[in-house]
Amino acid sequence: MTDLERLRHSCAHVLASAILRIWPQAQFAAGPPVETGFYYDLELDHRISLDDFERIEAEMKKIVKENQPFEKIDVSREEAFAMAQEGRLAALGRREQPSKFKLDILEHIPEGEAISLYRNGDFTDLCAGPHVMRTGNIGAFKLTSLASAYYRGDANNPQLQRVYGTAFKTRAELDAYFAQLEEAKKRDHRKLGRELDLFQIDEQVGQGLILWKPKGAVIRQQLQNFIGEELRKQGYSEVFTPHIAKLDLFRTSGHYPYYRESQFPPLIEPEALSRLASEGCSCAQLANQLTNGELDGYLLKPMNCPMHIKIYASELRSYRNLPVRLSEFGTVYRWEQSGELGGMTRVRGFTQDDGHLFCTEEQLAEELRQCLELGLNVLRALGLNEFRARIGLRDPDSSKYVGTPAQWDKAEAALKQIAVQSNISFAEEEGEAAFYGPKIDFIVKDVIGREWQLGTIQVDYNLPERFDLTYIDSDNSSKRPVMIHRAPFGSLERFCGVLIEHFAGAFPLWLAPEQVRILPISDKHVAYGGQILSLLKAANIRASLDESSDKIGAKIRLAQLQKVPYMLVLGAREEQAGEVAVRSRLRGDEGAASAPHFLERIQQEIKNRKLD
């Protein structure tokens, strides 16, 4: 537990103490620290409201001012049960009602495992710790929200009230956190997506399924063009595969049935379905036949890799042909629970900038280096300069991994070496490797300090084995290739959602859906505006002409709200001189320029993918 988590855990105990001072009958379940603060689940005979927060926080401040020590008390199993029966756990003293949730938690603690309590003031709770030394060590805190949660996450259990809060060491850190939250609300990609007309989610189409509108499609296409250029430089061959495949393909890969909880249900051929119905086949029997392979069907693909494997296996391969590098903007489908969906960042259908490489053991290190270089080029080109790498290594005490120890040693050493050579910040985490090989994940910090996991590079010894992939080596022997999965963007939906928030919708010129808007001062200058529009469009500049009768100030305000990078104001003086009055989104009025000169300038900005 980090120092901040320890502080927040302690603040959760202070929260419970304060609530009990106000409502002594409250029954508490669990109160852990979480990524953004802490919470405590409780049962009470009435609903706590946001209006109660001021009163609760006042009691919390008193407890902090009292500077109560946090005292750890080791107890026997029998002593803990006796205290819970007397209502003394998560309480200020003995009560008529037992501490029912603490009794249940005790029942789930294995026999022989140590049990401890923590006490601050009159409050005693079942807790493994750790905590700060005293309540006075808790810095600045604030209660943030309320929610409902089933006890232990089970809908068959009582529904509890969940009180959320957050805490930091200093008031300045707390204030900065809430300022970041306010900025995040302004940058919310769901809000900006509506305002800028980038994408939509339609209930009739389905939750978690993105409709890319024309402006959003421009951003997506530009990103695809950008990475496509990089892939061609690295010798990739682009492929296309269907959105659906036979279930048996995913049985071979292992994706079905092992990950079926996160997949859409299989599709059964109509004739087979009719036959099974006539035979009185139950849903359970149907599921069993699908699982054990007695019945085949089709599956919306959850991964692109099995199809790329089939492309590799479609012809005899020689060591001279390797590495084989395949790429695809392939759409995959995952069944996410409705409560987990969120705009573009958590969806049910998404397109990956997927790449799969098949190489020899000797080529592995160099291919990994190029994959890492590709990922770094993508992040830096988009101004995502604050990032770190997380290298997932195998757990030396686990036997779940496929491949030989020698292969793993070589692959892990290669990942570490290229991370060092690339001079990027990285951390090694044992046990975070996939069962089929080690990996690198990119953790990116956006402009307001939030972290996102985006691209990934993974080594795979498993799928070449499962699909019996081979190549002919120089000695005419049959060898097994190593496979690399890589996706610098991760998914285009998630990546674009992050970019919308990172840029606050104000995309750099090369990415902007509308790059230039022409603003005639009056109707008399619309014809000249049409000439400028033709010039720009002939050069593939995404431009438009505002022919409305609005005043020029209103036209400028609208273009600014829609975050258009450049505006060209046209009046009598500009038309007479054959010029345009340039106005930029960032710098305002930039003066007059000839149309060809302005065009040359922005073409250079686009070519260089300038960010501001």
Q: Which residues are catalytic?
A: 305, 334, 352, 354, 356, 439, 485
- How many C-beta atoms surround the C-beta of residue 154 within 10 A? 8
Look up residue 23 and give its two tokens: 């409502």
- How many C-beta atoms surround the C-beta of residue 492 within 10 A? 23
Closest CA to 300 of 252, 338, 261, 349: 349
Residue with structure tokens 């273009």?
Answer: 559
Look up residue 107 and give its two tokens: 């029942």
Question: What is the rounded CA–CA span in Å between residue 481 and residue 479?
Answer: 6
Closest CA to 87 of 151, 15, 169, 24: 24
Q: What is the DSSP string of 560-587?
A: HHTT-SEEEEE-HHHHHHTEEEEEETTT
E strands within 63-122? Answer: 71-75, 115-120
- How many C-beta atoms surround the C-beta of residue 320 within 10 A? 8
Helix pair angle (492-502, 171-187), 10° resolution: 120
In eight-state DSSP terms, residue 380 is H
Closest CA to 452 of 460, 467, 441: 441
Residue with structure tokens 């008031």?
Answer: 171
- Asked if 15 and 31 count as a contact pair (C-beta separation under 8 A), the reply is yes
Largest CA distance in the chain: 95
What b/e string do you get for 29-39 counting C-beta neighbours within 10 Å, with b at 16 or more?
A: bbbebeeebbb
- Asked if 583 and 594 count as a contact pair (C-beta separation under 8 A), the reply is no
Which CA distances in Å does 573 have to 270, 583, 593? 71, 16, 12
Q: CA 191, 193, 197 angle in degrees (round to 5)?
A: 125
Which CA distances in Å does 467 have to 355, 480, 483, 486, 552? 18, 10, 12, 19, 65
The sign of the CA dihedral 257, 261, 266, 272 is positive
